[in-house]
Amino acid sequence: MRDSCGRTIDYLRLSVTDLCNYRCQYCMPPEGVEKRLHSDILSIEELAEIAAAAVRCGVKKIRLTGGEPLVRRGLVDLCRMLRAIPGLAELCLTTNGSLLPQLARPLRDAGVDRLNISLDTLRPDRFAAMTRRGTLQDVLDGIQAAEAAGFYDLKFDTVLIGGFNDDEIEDFVELSRNHPWEMRFIELMPMGPCAGWDRSCFLPGSTVLERVPELEPLEAQGVARRYKLPGAAGTVGLISPVSHDFCADCRRVRVTSDGKLKGCLHSREEVPLRGLHGEALVNAIRQGIRQKPERHHLAERPSDTPRNMNQIGG
């Protein structure tokens, strides 16, 4: 379906929880989030019903996210239910990777097509400091488990943070040389805990091209500008929501784990979906798509959303 700006919307990011086993400094407060009542969060059946209604509205690709989707009980069942929706072309999942040793195989068997793994540093001490409670080795084990389960074309998402991991750009790019992976660098977006961070933390995606000038451009894919080291097995992606506003090409809407449809990550506007079924649910999703904001305003001011990223689904 098209929104009021004429953009085709065919991609849903569906958040299955706002809880997480990590506390990444830019995403969540150190104390985490108050655990909400079970009844405040969409049930597995409600998530599946919303997904099916979204597919009726033209969605072809669903990405499960959070919080950390792998901490959600019933996730594998949900994946199986989504895979059975006629018309859904692609089911993907974004994860911090720490629980993949246990869950990669069941997720693959349930029909998940692709995984994105978030990884901001390759150094154990930095990893522990940034996630406040994570261990790099868990994610490395998770990557192995994902490949063993058949997720070969992994995508890695690294949030570029000046003074934290910009000296690892070359190391991340290097991983694309011998692996069929896409190593993606994402600009840090000023929202939630990082909205007031020093300007030096916010680096443009072009920093990657300055550090690794041998990267050769490829065709863009979705919102990612893509590059390749000569002769490499994998690719490098730049996702630059701040410096390179890609709103005109945006094809996505989001549903939060408490059942609000968001046309834009950075907008305050939300359409409540809970309690709606059948045509009423489909109509509410259509309304949310129609009123998707034309663009965000990150170049001028921090995000307008009062939610932290874990409460939306990155």
Q: Left (φ > 0), alpha (ψ -120 to 50) or beta: where does 206 sit? A: alpha
Which positions from 109 to 128 touch ligand SAM by CB under 6 A, shown as an x/- string?
A: ---------x----------
Minimum Å gap between C-beta 308 and ligand SF4 is: 8
The answer to whether the beta carbons of residues 263 and 209 sit under 8 Å apart is no
Q: Does 67 contact ligand SF4 by CB under 6 A? A: yes
Selection from ligand SF4, ligand SAM, none that 65 binds (CB < 5 to 8 A by kind) is: ligand SAM
Which span (38-46, 132-140, 169-177, 306-314) binds ligand SAM, by CB under 6 A? 306-314
Element (H, E) at 174: helix 169-178
Which positions from 175 to 214 touch ligand SAM by CB under 6 A, shown as an x/- string?
A: -----------x-xx-x--x--------------------
Q: Does 187 contact ligand SF4 by CB under 6 A? A: no
The answer to whether the beta carbons of residues 67 and 16 sit under 8 Å apart is yes
Interface residue with ligand SF4, options 9, 14, 28, 264 (CB under 6 A)? 28
Q: Does 20 contact ligand SAM by CB under 6 A? A: yes
Minimum Å gap between C-beta 194 and ligand SF4 is: 11
Minimum Å gap between C-beta 136 and ligand SF4 is: 13
75/309 with CB nearer ligand SAM: 309
Interface residue with ligand SF4, options 12, 14, 27, 112 (CB under 6 A)? 27
102-132: string of b/e by CB count within 10 Å (b at 16+)? Answer: ebbbebbebebbbbbbbbbbbeeeebeebbe
Q: Does 159 contact ligand SAM by CB under 6 A? A: yes
Question: 210, 241, 243, 248: which is closest to 227 by C-alpha?
Answer: 210
Backbone angles phi, psi at 183, to 5 degrees: -95, 110
Interface residue with ligand SAM, options 94, 121, 256, 305 (CB under 6 A)? 94
What order of strands is seen across the sheet that includes strand 271-272? 216-217, 225-228, 235-239, 182-187, 155-160, 114-118, 90-95, 61-65, 11-15, 252-255, 260-262, 271-272
The SS3 assignment for 80 reads helix
Q: Which residues of the chain form contacts with ligand SF4 (CB under 6 A)? A: 20, 22-24, 27-28, 66-68, 96, 118, 309-310
In the complex, which residues of this chain contact ligand SAM (CB under 6 A)?
A: 20, 26-27, 65-66, 68, 94-96, 118, 157, 159, 186, 188-189, 191, 194, 309-310, 314
